[in-house]
A and B are shown apart, each in its own frame.
Chain A
Amino acid sequence: MGNGETPAIDVIQRRQFMKATAMAAATAVAGGPPYALPVLADEPADGAEGVEWNKAPCRFCGTGCHVQVGVQGGKVVAVAGDRNAEVNKGLLCVKGYHVGSALYGSDRLTKPLLRDGDGYREISWQEAIKTIADRVEAAPERFAFYGSGQWTIPEGYAAQKFMKGGLANNHIDPNARLCMASAVTGFLATYGVDEPAGCYDDLDACDVLIMWGNNPAEMHPVLFSRVVDRRSRGEQITLIDISTRRTRTTEACQHYLEMRGHGDLAIANGVAHLLIKNGTYDREFVESYCNFKVPDDANPNLHGKPISFDEYKKQLEPYTPEHVEELSGVPADQIRMLGDLFGNPDLKITSLWCMGMNQHTRGTAINTLVHGIHLLSGHFGTPGDAPTSLTGQPSACGTVREVGTLAHTLPGGRVVANEAHRQQTEEFWNLPAGRINATPGFHTVKMWESFCTPTDQGGEIGTIWVQVTNPGQTLPNLNKLFNPKGKRDAGLADKFLIVSDVYPTATTRLADLILPSAMWVEKNGIFGNSERRTQQWFKMVDPPGDARDDCWQTIAVAHELFERGLKGMADRDGRFLFEQKQDDQPVPIWEWEHYYDINVDEGLFEEYRQFTRMKHKDLAPYVEYVNTRGMRWPVVEKDGTWKETRLRFSEGYDPYVEEGRGVQFYHSPTDDDRAQIWFQPWVPPAEVPDEEYPFMLCTGRVLEHWHTGTMTRRIPQLNRAMPGGYLEMNEADAAAHDLENGDQVKIESRRGSLVMPIWIHGRGQPPEGTVFIPFFDETVLVNDLTLDAIDPFSKQPDYKKSAVRIKKVS
């Protein structure tokens, strides 16, 4: 921590010193061997400078780069890429470079605010906590918690325990439902357990990298730079972009396969068809480690129906390269090229995907198909051969998928519908038997639909508490799922919205109670990134004003309810659900003054850790993470040291694979240590362009802004680099509509409309008939237009395929 005073030092000398430090850091990174970078002076600017350095993962994306954070006088004053971090090896992207500034926007929320007519009045924390407790107490079953993949692991765990263990209420769901739920169902349907088998090391080992609807050059730039860097050093690596529009990623790729929406389903089937037809599938791998499945249309579920190899082959017969071309728009030759690559056992192939495959009304299906072609071709289980999903949020894996903050899950890969799982959880939490509710709660779309439906018309959810996310901007079809809350005649006067955040957002606009939160290094935290890496950091600076940790907020409400005698807030021995002790005495962590008397994160993490062994996602003790830049689970103790796992299910890498088994899918949904190869038919998108709405709208992100821009739009450099939303359009379409760059256009869908400028062949280049709008700009909410159709299994919406029409605004 900084000492609160800036030492009087000579400015020029100081500048020279900083410059020398900066150059030393860059030179070391530039010249260092790629995997064993020398340690930069652990404190890039030493104590004499008065800057104290500490490590933290970047606040933004799921890549999980580590930064060194320099603090002086109680403020973050410098940020450096952390050369000790395997993820980024000292590098950061443009967002990470500005991550320190994200703390210091001038409109930080600093006081609890309660709606008062059309405005707000400041209230005390005590009143705020009591207000929430009143809402919960009045109708615990109508209360819902809407969380986030930006929750730290302890924050998500506390919210999870509060809801499922305390209120016996499963209406808790995170925003990650909107971004990676289909990846989860894809992993479960294939391997019986969530999260990738591989890790980022595959990017250093693969010969072919295929990006399925993924734009890592902008969304995961440090990972992409790692691959481009290999090529710059003269290594042979083939990059393939399969996408509905050209992006910055395309520019670096040797092959670009431009497909129509849902074309990926046909392409994956086309590859499988060719592998079988050409006899280039890996017979030995398939016979040893795989089963075949088709969806069970009469009883849709993630287990499907078993089929034989011959039946699987028959299902694939129609998917000839020519037929795939008709369905997807990708030329048959390019399908053959992919088939040949997958059919070559000498290559190492890694697939990457993110929103393009997940935000898809057949998201589960396409996820299983991509796993399937890796399994069928045997491109699985060795470094560089891996199907790997990426996440957009820093702890979508750690907090959502592992802690299980979804409406149907419990920590450690358990589910509420399973009696044995509930009993195990009740044991760990020391709850009376039967406390946990067996009925899954509402998933995100259903939760908000219920909230925006009047109570007398069946809208069961009366109160939602939102933490660390911005549904007023990110929910699809906002005019149905969010905006009604702001309408006086919508019959929602009894509904109550609580929002904990750091800045005013599109969500706080309609909130009844706004709570100011601490962010990033203003609090202790633990994230889990896309490659199963758990990363810890300590609080380094104080939050502004009365802003406080989200985790404290949850515990304070829980304690208020405990004091009022709400029996769910006590365990079976009558103790407070979140009791933490020091020297055998309970510490009043619900009082802010005492919250940091002990490390609450450590207490919660150690409790949570018990769950992680149940599905072999073992985590090490908290202290082990303090001295590392994260470790990839399962982390298992061997000979007194805690060892991480780079590659799951493979002998020699994964400690849970039995000797002599080679590959062992030890959580197989068929209980035979085999993975499932699925056939899933091509189906068209839920909405396709027609005469009335002739364009397909795709939404997404841009390099400069992180998701809804609430942090990055307050960083002037980033805001200036990308100041506002725009409609990206093909040149020919623009000419046909008599449109020029910068013209204002009205974009209408069946759900809403908005006006914005067009950018012809902007950052990306959509093909004719397709347009693109980024979602970072809260002044032009693209989700007024999007469709709320969801994948039947993951319940994830499709933000990539909505039909729209476009008119010039005079």
Chain B
Amino acid sequence: MIASVVATLEGPPNATARLLSSLRALPGVETGPFDETTRRLPITIESPTPMALEETTRHLRECRGVAFVDVVFVHFETEPEHPEADFR
């Protein structure tokens, strides 16, 4: 699974710098150039399963200093998982 998202960051410059380095340390995560004007950070996420991908996206969303995460692209590299929803 490969996806890309755009994170909108908020907060003072030193906090943003710390946030950027912690995001870069996340497994499967690659960050692109942070745009100071738009405060947007392009990120690709590579993960073995759709679940793991979703987990990483959720984690990003919950990081302090991340105002919003928008998804731009998602590729189901393997067949999408479609187990019957577990409520049935």
Given contacts A22-B3, A30-B32, contact A777 B87 (CB under 8 A): yes
Q: Are B67 and A232 interface neighbours, CB within 8 A?
A: yes
Chain B residues with CB below 8 A from A93, complex form:
70-71
Q: Are A92 and B82 interface neighbours, CB within 8 A?
A: no
| A23-35 to B contact mask, C-beta < 8 Å, 1/0 | 1011101110010
Residues 1-54 of B contacting A (Cβ, < 8 Å): 2-6, 8-10, 30, 32-33, 35, 37-44, 46, 50-51, 53-54
CA distance A81 to B87 in the complex (A): 30
Closest CB-CB distance, A695 to chain B, in whole Å?
A: 26
A457 at the B interface (CB under 8 A): no
| A74-103 to B contact mask, C-beta < 8 Å, 1/0 | 000111110000000011111011101100
Q: Are A233 and B38 interface neighbours, CB within 8 A?
A: yes
Closest to B54 in A: A717
B72 at the A interface (CB under 8 A): yes
Closest CB-CB distance, B64 to chain A, in whole Å?
A: 13
Chain A residues with CB below 8 A from B33, complex form:
27, 31
CA distance A18 to B77 in the complex (A): 9
CA distance A585 to B7 in the complex (A): 55
Q: Are A81 and B72 interface neighbours, CB within 8 A?
A: yes
Q: Are A104 and B80 interface neighbours, CB within 8 A?
A: yes
Q: Are A717 and B46 interface neighbours, CB within 8 A?
A: no
A225 at the B interface (CB under 8 A): yes
Chain A residues with CB below 8 A from B73, complex form:
21-22, 25-26, 44, 78-81
Chain A residues with CB below 8 A from B67, complex form:
228, 232, 252
CA distance A80 to B4 in the complex (A): 9
Chain A residues with CB below 8 A from B54, complex form:
717-718, 720-721
Closest CB-CB distance, A28 to chain B, in whole Å?
A: 8
Q: Are B50 and A717 interface neighbours, CB within 8 A?
A: yes
Q: Are A721 and B4 interface neighbours, CB within 8 A?
A: no
The contact of A30 among B6, B30, B46, B80, by CB within 8 Å, is B6
Closest CB-CB distance, B10 to chain A, in whole Å?
A: 6
Given contacts A25-B4, A713-B85, contact A101 B71 (CB under 8 A): no
CA distance A142 to B51 in the complex (A): 48
B63 at the A interface (CB under 8 A): no
A-B contacts, CB under 8 A, total? 168
A418 at the B interface (CB under 8 A): no
CA distance A714 to B87 in the complex (A): 9
A43 at the B interface (CB under 8 A): no
Chain B residues with CB below 8 A from A18, complex form:
2, 75, 77
Residues 226-249 of A contacting B (Cβ, < 8 Å): 228-229, 232-233
A254 at the B interface (CB under 8 A): no
Chain B residues with CB below 8 A from A720, complex form:
51, 54
CA distance A777 to B85 in the complex (A): 12
Given contacts A91-B70, A232-B9, contact A22 B4 (CB under 8 A): yes
Chain A residues with CB below 8 A from B53, complex form:
717
CA distance A806 to B27 in the complex (A): 44
Residues 7-30 of A contacting B (Cβ, < 8 Å): 14-15, 18-19, 21-23, 25-27, 29-30
Residues 50-88 of B contacting A (Cβ, < 8 Å): 50-51, 53-54, 57-58, 67-68, 70-77, 80-88
A70 at the B interface (CB under 8 A): yes
Chain B residues with CB below 8 A from A79, complex form:
73-74
Residues 51-80 of A contacting B (Cβ, < 8 Å): 70, 77-80
CA distance A92 to B2 in the complex (A): 15
Q: Are A26 and B8 interface neighbours, CB within 8 A?
A: no
- Please indicate which of the listed interface residues A27, A93, A225 has the most CB atoms of chain B within 10 Å of its own CB: A27
CA distance A80 to B32 in the complex (A): 18
A779 at the B interface (CB under 8 A): yes
Chain A residues with CB below 8 A from B51, complex form:
716-717, 720
Q: Are A23 and B44 interface neighbours, CB within 8 A?
A: yes
Chain A residues with CB below 8 A from B85, complex form:
105, 107, 713-714, 716, 719
Closest CB-CB distance, B57 to chain A, in whole Å?
A: 7
Q: Are A222 and B76 interface neighbours, CB within 8 A?
A: no
CA distance A81 to B42 in the complex (A): 14
Chain A residues with CB below 8 A from B46, complex form:
15, 19
Given contacts A104-B80, A723-B86, A778-B87, contact A31 B38 (CB under 8 A): yes
Q: Are B35 and A30 interface neighbours, CB within 8 A?
A: yes
Q: Are B4 and A23 interface neighbours, CB within 8 A?
A: yes
Q: Are B8 and A90 interface neighbours, CB within 8 A?
A: no
Closest CB-CB distance, B13 to chain A, in whole Å?
A: 13
Q: Are A78 and B74 interface neighbours, CB within 8 A?
A: yes
A582 at the B interface (CB under 8 A): no
Q: Are B6 and A724 interface neighbours, CB within 8 A?
A: no
A106 at the B interface (CB under 8 A): yes
CA distance A92 to B74 in the complex (A): 10
Closest CB-CB distance, A77 to chain B, in whole Å?
A: 5
| A402-421 to B contact mask, C-beta < 8 Å, 1/0 | 00000000000000000000
Chain A residues with CB below 8 A from B87, complex form:
713, 719, 723-724, 777-779
Chain A residues with CB below 8 A from B72, complex form:
22, 25-26, 29, 80-81, 90-92
Closest CB-CB distance, A17 to chain B, in whole Å?
A: 10
Closest CB-CB distance, A235 to chain B, in whole Å?
A: 11
CA distance A686 to B3 in the complex (A): 48
Chain B residues with CB below 8 A from A228, complex form:
8, 67-68
Chain B residues with CB below 8 A from A15, complex form:
2, 46, 77
CA distance A31 to B50 in the complex (A): 27
Closest CB-CB distance, A61 to chain B, in whole Å?
A: 15
20 A-B interface contacts by CB (under 8 A)? A14-B77, A15-B46, A19-B30, A21-B73, A21-B75, A26-B5, A26-B6, A27-B33, A29-B70, A30-B35, A31-B35, A31-B38, A77-B76, A80-B73, A100-B74, A105-B85, A232-B39, A714-B82, A716-B82, A724-B87
Interface set of A (CB-CB < 8 Å, partner B): 14-15, 18-19, 21-23, 25-27, 29-31, 34, 44-45, 70, 77-81, 90-94, 96-98, 100-101, 104-107, 222, 225, 228-229, 232-233, 252, 504, 713-714, 716-721, 723-724, 777-779
Interface set of B (CB-CB < 8 Å, partner A): 2-6, 8-10, 30, 32-33, 35, 37-44, 46, 50-51, 53-54, 57-58, 67-68, 70-77, 80-88
Q: 9 more A-B contacts (CB under 8 A) besides A80-B72, A716-B81, A724-B87? A: A23-B32, A30-B42, A90-B6, A91-B71, A101-B76, A104-B80, A225-B8, A232-B39, A718-B54
